[in-house]
Structure 1
């Protein structure tokens, strides 16, 4: 029997967010817990759906069900609901690059439309993450690998209520500092070396930024995230969402 990822305690937490319950008119389906285990197996191993062990059911049926849940935003909504009470004494933003497997490059509309681009590492996707002061994921965005982190920052900080925001010097931009000050958020961002009038920042507080890097390490323990094989950004975001959910409830 293939190793399972969900304990009874885990399942009790995430079951209310799943489709197919008897209380969902027209949404009843097979064993939702077994289905979630199947998705987690794919995320954890990075295997192709065709390699799904038979004990989880026919791979194509599981994949089609996964895509239905993706289109209904089940995985993302589950993650957001379970991360709705972050500790925002300070927040952190950082980006991380993942390579895209050849099998993940064939979606309609071209690579760029699926948050895939060409960077120094080849064909890649960038995950831009926002974490709280404990290093727990609050939200994230996907971008093509060559895109600058600043591109998705406005969306992540639009409704952010935190005392401080920690980021590396790649996010040292005047407009960002002004936007944070308007939201009563103190920027903790080291200035770029070419700054004529470099801004001051709290070096002691900045040391805590390693927590977001630690989080990326946890996320990339899942091979399906460390090497993207999802053709669509929706499916890849679902992989990140379910992995983040499991990290959150452990």
Structure 2
């Protein structure tokens, strides 16, 4: 018997936003919970789809349904619902490089860029993340591994209201700091060593930045996130989003 991850409490949060529930057009999907478990199993173990345990059904049928939900934006709604909403006190941002497995290369060019680049160590992709002070994921962006952290900084916090934005010195850029202040927030970012005029920042608040680093450690327990096997960027982003939403809630 495979180990499951979904608690009754978490399932209650998402059961009414997935397709196939009672009242939807088409055939009712009585196995929605078991299907979500199957996708979480793939994400947690990093296994190929063909190795999906038979208890979950035919692997190809499960994959096609996964792809259909990906196309329709269902997984993003699921992740958002699990994470929940609330007032944001502080925003913490950072990025992490993920090694891309050789199986992730070779996506069709007509699909556009697939967020795989070259950095130290070979093929890689990078996850840019914003969380709040209680460890709730706010925004996730995928780029090539060689992309600079600052390249996604503004997009990570755009439209989010908070008292402070906390980041390491890789985000120390005048334009970004000014955009934070223009939004009415404090920029808790240590200045680079080559700055002539050193900017003051709250060292006490900066010490909380380890929350985002611990968050990355947590979601990388999902092996399909810690190593990228998916050729398509949107498929990998689905697993990363699910890990962000479910990772803090489950025992891995």
- What TM-score results when the alignment is normalised by the length of structure 1? 0.95
CA contact (8 A) 1:93 1:129 kept: yes
Q: Size of the alignment, in residue pairs?
A: 250
The Cα shift of 1:63 comes to 0.4
Give the corresponding residue for 2:103.
103
The Cα shift of 1:86 comes to 4.0
How far, CA to CA, are the matches of 2:13 and 2:135 in structure 1? Answer: 21
Which range moved further: 9-18 or 183-192? Answer: 9-18
Q: How does 1:7-46 map to 2 (within 5 A)?
A: 7-26=7-26, 28-29=28-29, 31-46=31-46
Question: Structure 1 111/32 Cα, relative in aligned 2: closer, same or farther at 3 Å?
Answer: closer
SS at match of 1:113: coil
The Cα shift of 1:112 comes to 7.8
How far, CA to CA, are the matches of 2:137 and 2:26 in structure 1? Answer: 33
How far, CA to CA, are the matches of 1:204 and 1:33 in structure 2? Answer: 43
Question: Structure 1 117/236 Cα, relative in aligned 2: closer, same or farther at 3 Å?
Answer: same
The Cα shift of 1:95 comes to 0.2
The Cα shift of 1:232 comes to 0.9
SS at match of 1:152: helix
Give the corresponding residue for 2:90.
90
The Cα shift of 1:9 comes to 2.2
How far, CA to CA, are the matches of 2:112 and 2:149 in structure 1? Answer: 16
Give the corresponding residue for 2:183.
183
Instruction: Tell me whether 1:47 sits opposite 2:47 in the alignment.
Output: yes
Q: Deviations over 1:205-247 (max 9, x none)?
A: 1000000000001100110100111111111111012222223
The Cα shift of 1:119 comes to 0.6
How far, CA to CA, are the matches of 1:111 and 1:118 in structure 2? Answer: 19
Give the corresponding residue for 2:219.
219
SS at match of 1:42: helix
SS at match of 2:140: strand
Question: Structure 1 199/110 Cα, relative in aligned 2: closer, same or farther at 3 Å?
Answer: farther
CA contact (8 A) 2:177 2:187 kept: yes
The Cα shift of 1:49 comes to 0.2
CA contact (8 A) 1:164 1:186 kept: yes
The Cα shift of 1:73 comes to 1.1
CA contact (8 A) 2:103 2:230 kept: yes
Give the corresponding residue for 1:172.
172
CA contact (8 A) 2:98 2:124 kept: yes
SS at match of 1:216: helix
SS at match of 2:177: helix
Give the corresponding residue for 2:118.
118
Q: What is the root-mean-square deviation in Å for CA atoms of aligned residues?
A: 1.7
Which range moved further: 131-140 or 175-184? Answer: 131-140
CA contact (8 A) 1:44 1:222 kept: yes
The Cα shift of 1:7 comes to 2.2
How far, CA to CA, are the matches of 1:111 and 1:64 in structure 2? Answer: 18
CA contact (8 A) 1:97 1:126 kept: yes
- What TM-score results when the alignment is normalised by the length of structure 2? 0.94
